[in-house]
A and B are shown apart, each in its own frame.
Chain A
Amino acid sequence: MARIDIVDLCKRFGNIEVISNVNLSFEEGEFIVLVGPSGCGKSTLLRMIAGLESITKGDIIMNDQRVNDLPPRDRNIAMVFQSYALYPHMNVERNMGFSMEIKRTPPDTRRQHVDKAAAILGLGSLMERLPKALSGGQRQRVAMGRAIVRDPSAFLFDEPLSNLDAALRVEMRLEIARLHQRLGSTMVYVTHDQVEALTLADRIVVLDHGVVQQVGTPMELYESPANRFVARFIGSPTMNLIEVAMEDQQLTMKSTHSAIPLPALVGAESATQLGIRPEHLEPMPAGKGHVQGEVEVVERLGSDSFVYVQVPGAGRLLSRCNGNTRLQAGEAVGLSLDPAHLHLFDEKGQALR
């Protein structure tokens, strides 16, 4: 098991800074998810931890040892690639045992380790197959098996589920969670999918343009996002944002100057945007609630309903109600904002608390 510290890490490709001054500490046995939109530098950061990418500036420290100049094979880490990167000319058994083949471990021992990993992943019957004769989910398992056989001090995953279909993704997500419980190793997991991040992580690191936006447990990120980017990125459907201004000690909608009658909020003076998640926006009979609007579309998912409401001055807001709502498109409706779950952002998008 490894503790990983990342200190003032920078990465430049030519003149483009892809990772800017990242400072992170991953505890032993922690499941860390690096999440962010495509191109934000998640893979680059992970590959620097793995030793596949050189470090422009800063340090990576594993268990108090600076590993900047260590080649990947001396870092005792395992990595699962998005493409799986299985050796196409080797069968499943050889793929999984490759690290031991390299170390010239005797075949008996090798076989034991491979069989153990195969049993964990339910690969027993596939040992003789070549990767091309496997389904996507099976390849994924073999890639994980190859990592397990190494018994590494840390696992690195680079979007391991993004090539699978939705059902399989849910299944493999559970599998990875189970694996972490079972092995207890440090795991660093890269994804652009916030659902994977929320469900798997002990702690989430949100990256944007190579800059760490926030680090925290899934619920911390969900309940108190540090800035607008995190607020919009975490949570599905995304948080509603309303342009606001402070007029005469009263929060108003910026474009229409109509008041939002909410109790006094901390830091509201410098707020330019008000954020509220769909589940904290409750439809009311017309005339009641904090703002008034007209139902545009209702999406019924059975377990809950998404009500899109056009509010003059605020644009389209989304409210999420439990069960099946009776609201119909075209209906006038009031919306009540839950004062306990409001988020205010200043001009720069920083959360005001």
Chain B
Amino acid sequence: MNTAVTPAVATPGSRRSWRAVLRTAAEPWLYLSPALIFIMLVMLVPLVIGISYAFQAISLMNPLESGWVGLANFEALYEDRKFWKSLKNTAYWTIASVFFQFFLGLGLALLLNHGFYGRRLVQALVFLPWAVPTFLSALTWAWLFNPVIGPLPHWLAAIGILSEPYNILSDPNIAIWGPIVANIWFGIPFFAITLLAALQSIPHDLYEAAAIDGASAWQGFIKITLPFLAPMIAITVMLRAIWVANFADLIFVMTGGGPANSTQIISTYIFTTAFRKLDFGYASAIAVVLLVLLLIYAAVLLRLRQSLRLVN
């Protein structure tokens, strides 16, 4: 009986169910569409347009010679000594800044994780660099390094780091340390706060168990604290490095990339190329290179983190 009835019903039934399947599949996308469209508009469109600039000649100085030029911008970039110098500076600036930001931030977090008198005050002060506009911080630091009004050159000379109190921002050999010091000051709170949060999430009884198992404070730090912090360290260092590599404000205000391009990093080079020379095509080409480098960096770090987790 059943077998006789089924074929007659099956055809319209299956067609209807096919449509129903399609509808259930489409329905979530319909609900997601506002968010998706918004993300496309806000992120994808500018990205694509920006990347497309890299393959065009768009210079406001030369409005007549605009149009697609293929890889010409990148070829020029390859020959550009200023580009290679700023790439090297970027690496130096990023590594030095993040290194000191991280270790000083970790130290501060460990300190704040212990109760001591006046801890709340210190904890509030830690946020201070975030309360000041970057522009003002940069100006203040520039003044601090200025021997006419700032104390730092005199102190540095007094402890023998400088031969005489001069402005390090005007010495091409060490000028980059001016913005780096400002950046360290600026970036410590980020590490201190995120690492403090991670520290506070470690159950206290693990340290007690370790103490009973015979661990010294240092062994407790190595065997318990660090493994617990590792994921947070990986993610914060990665994010921070990308952010610092792109962070042009301090350098731009303090040295403007000078003297003699000794503090020029990729992002300040992009900025000056685009908004001083008004060569948007070339600036986009540099930006695309920076993007690719950072993507590779992120991929490597994520892979590294995965393998670290497997080891543990």
- Residues of B close to A73: CB separation below 8 A: 211-216
Q: Is the pair B211, A81 in contact by a Cβ cutoff of 8 Å?
A: no
Q: Is the pair B209, A81 in contact by a Cβ cutoff of 8 Å?
A: yes
Q: Is the pair A52, B208 in contact by a Cβ cutoff of 8 Å?
A: yes
CA separation between A51 and B209, bound complex, in Å?
A: 11
- Chain B residues 203-226 with CB under 8 Å of chain A are 203, 205-206, 208-216, 219, 223-224
- Residues of A close to B209: CB separation below 8 A: 79, 81, 85-87, 146
- Chain A residues 37-52 with CB under 8 Å of chain B are 50-52
B312 at the interface (CB under 8 A from A): yes
Rounded to whole Å, the gap between the CB of B262 and the closest CB of chain A is 45
When C-beta atoms are compared, the residue in chain A nearest to B202 turns out to be A88
A98 at the interface (CB under 8 A from B): yes
The interface size of chain A toward B, counting residues with CB under 8 Å, comes to 22
- Residues of A close to B215: CB separation below 8 A: 73, 98, 102
- Residues of B close to A72: CB separation below 8 A: 208, 211-212
Q: Is the pair A102, B214 in contact by a Cβ cutoff of 8 Å?
A: yes
- Residues of B close to A274: CB separation below 8 A: none
Q: Is the pair B208, A85 in contact by a Cβ cutoff of 8 Å?
A: yes
B227 at the interface (CB under 8 A from A): yes
Rounded to whole Å, the gap between the CB of A160 and the closest CB of chain B is 13
Known: A83-B205, A85-B205. Is A77-B212 also a contact (CB below 8 A)? Answer: yes
- Residues of B close to A326: CB separation below 8 A: none
When C-beta atoms are compared, the residue in chain B nearest to A99 turns out to be B213
- Residues of A close to B211: CB separation below 8 A: 51-52, 71-73
Identify whether the interface residues of B are mostly helix, strand, loop, or mixed.
helix
B228 at the interface (CB under 8 A from A): yes
User: What is the total of A-B residue contacts with beta carbons within 8 Å?
Assistant: 57
- Residues of A close to B213: CB separation below 8 A: 73, 98-99, 102, 146, 150
- Residues of B close to A78: CB separation below 8 A: 212
- Residues of B close to A182: CB separation below 8 A: none
Q: Is the pair B208, A87 in contact by a Cβ cutoff of 8 Å?
A: no
CA separation between A83 and B101, bound complex, in Å?
A: 36
When C-beta atoms are compared, the residue in chain A nearest to B216 turns out to be A73
A103 at the interface (CB under 8 A from B): yes
- Residues of B close to A77: CB separation below 8 A: 212
Q: Is the pair A89, B214 in contact by a Cβ cutoff of 8 Å?
A: no
The size class of the interface chain B forms with chain A is 10 to 19
Q: Is the pair A81, B227 in contact by a Cβ cutoff of 8 Å?
A: no
Rounded to whole Å, the gap between the CB of A144 and the closest CB of chain B is 13
Q: Is the pair B208, A103 in contact by a Cβ cutoff of 8 Å?
A: no
What 0/1 readout, one digit per residue, does chain A (254-274) give for beta carbons within 8 Å of chain B? 000000000000000000000
- Residues of A close to B312: CB separation below 8 A: 89
CA separation between A150 and B212, bound complex, in Å?
A: 10
What 0/1 readout, one digit per residue, does chain A (77-118) give for beta carbons within 8 Å of chain B? 111010101110100000000110111000000000000000
Rounded to whole Å, the gap between the CB of B91 and the closest CB of chain A is 32
CA separation between A270 and B173, bound complex, in Å?
A: 96
- Residues of A close to B206: CB separation below 8 A: 85, 87
Rounded to whole Å, the gap between the CB of A122 and the closest CB of chain B is 22
When C-beta atoms are compared, the residue in chain B nearest to A158 turns out to be B205
- Residues of A close to B208: CB separation below 8 A: 52, 72, 79, 81, 85
Rounded to whole Å, the gap between the CB of B105 and the closest CB of chain A is 22
What 0/1 readout, one digit per residue, does chain B (293-312) give for beta carbons within 8 Å of chain A? 00000000000000000001
When C-beta atoms are compared, the residue in chain A nearest to B205 turns out to be A85
Q: Is the pair B224, A99 in contact by a Cβ cutoff of 8 Å?
A: no
When C-beta atoms are compared, the residue in chain B nearest to A103 turns out to be B214
Most buried by A among B203, B212, B216, B227: B212
CA separation between A85 and B214, bound complex, in Å?
A: 15
Q: Is the pair B212, A89 in contact by a Cβ cutoff of 8 Å?
A: no
- Residues of A close to B227: CB separation below 8 A: 89
Most buried by A among B205, B208, B213, B312: B213
CA separation between A248 and B203, bound complex, in Å?
A: 64
Q: Which 4 A-B pairs have the closest CB atoms?
A: A85-B209, A99-B213, A73-B214, A85-B205
11 contacts across the A-B interface (CB closer than 8 A) = A52-B208, A72-B211, A73-B214, A81-B205, A87-B206, A87-B210, A87-B224, A98-B210, A102-B223, A146-B209, A146-B213
